[in-house]
A and B are shown apart, each in its own frame.
Chain A
């Protein structure tokens, strides 16, 4: 393997690692921010407007949004360096990582049944991503 190819592989692995950590961390910050704001007391337009106004003036929510933007940027960049099937497992793992972060950082109660469900979701998303990306027309 030539050095540039090895360097590119390290770069891609680093990006995938960033994606696996940053995306779920963004969701965790969003969750923390929204829990602090609390659910809307009513679901009419005026109350919902105030609810989203509070959401978009929350620093924690903005940290979550910035992390999610970083995740999508890393995802797009990784797709220009590597095949979709190489990058895609990162999005499958994200469903598991978010449950782990919810458990450890937010102190959420995760039952064994839910852990089993999350594991099946990760496996299912992984299998969907491993199928041929194009099934229409002639290739």
Chain B
């Protein structure tokens, strides 16, 4: 049980955290308007020089490894729906770390996801 909780935590927190790091880094890299190969290579080189990109990449890779390990333990019809908890984690995360205002409608969506995950876990038997 503890193993599953740890693996799900890695998937649910690691994935979105990696995406946030990547997103923050790409915003600093700037908008891509020139799509010629050399220009794209320069953008890639600029991105590769940023620590945030590598942290994001490492977190996303960790989440993927967690998913592979979890799929070796449990059914896909259980694992993938539970990973929807990342939507629930991103709401308080966005509020605390990014100062986002979470609308009541979004809280309702998050509550439904949590309730759904609880039912999926109960249905695990």
| A interface, CB within 8 angstroms of B | 24, 27-28, 30-31, 34-35, 37-40, 43, 48, 51-52, 55, 61, 94-95, 98-99, 101-103, 106, 108-132, 135-136
CB distance from B79 to the nearest CB of A (A): 7
Measured between beta carbons, the chain B residues less than 8 angstroms from A124 are: 84, 87, 108-116
B65 nearest CB neighbor, chain A only: A52
**B77, CB-defined interface residue at 8 Å:** yes
Can you name 15 A-B pairs with beta carbons within 8 Å?
A: A34-B69, A39-B69, A51-B69, A61-B68, A99-B77, A103-B77, A106-B76, A109-B75, A114-B119, A116-B119, A116-B123, A117-B117, A124-B111, A124-B116, A131-B106
- Name the interface size band of chain B: 35 or more
Give chain B interface residues in 69-125, CB to chain A under 8 Å: 69, 71-73, 75-81, 84, 87, 91, 98-103, 105-106, 108-125
* Interface SS majority for chain B: helix
In the complex, whether B12 has a CB less than 8 A from a CB of chain A is no
Q: How many A-B residue pairs have CB under 8 A?
A: 151
1/0 contact string of B19-44 vs chain A (CB within 8 Å): 00000000000000000000000000
Determine whether the beta carbon of B120 is less than 8 Å from that of A114: yes
Closest CB of chain B to A121's CB: distance in Å?
4
In the assembled complex, the Cα of A41 lies from the Cα of B59 at a distance in Å of 25
B100–A98 contact, CB under 8 A? no
Task: Enumerate chain B residues within 8 angstroms of A108, measured Cβ to Cβ.
Answer: 75-77
Q: Could you say which of A40, A112, A117, A135 contacts B101, with CB atoms under 8 Å apart?
A: A135
Rounded to whole Å, the gap between the CB of B101 and the closest CB of chain A is 4
B91 surroundings in chain A (CB, below 8 A):
128
Q: Which residues of B contact A (CB under 8 A)?
A: 3, 65, 67-69, 71-73, 75-81, 84, 87, 91, 98-103, 105-106, 108-125
Beyond the given pairs A120-B113, A121-B81, A136-B100, 12 more chain A to chain B contacts, judged by CB atoms under 8 angstroms and listed by A's residue number, are A24-B80, A28-B76, A30-B76, A111-B123, A113-B120, A114-B124, A117-B117, A120-B112, A124-B84, A125-B87, A127-B109, A135-B101
User: For A116, what are the chain B residues with a Cβ–Cβ distance below 8 Å?
Assistant: 116, 119, 123
Chain A positions within 8 Å of B116 at CB level? 116-124
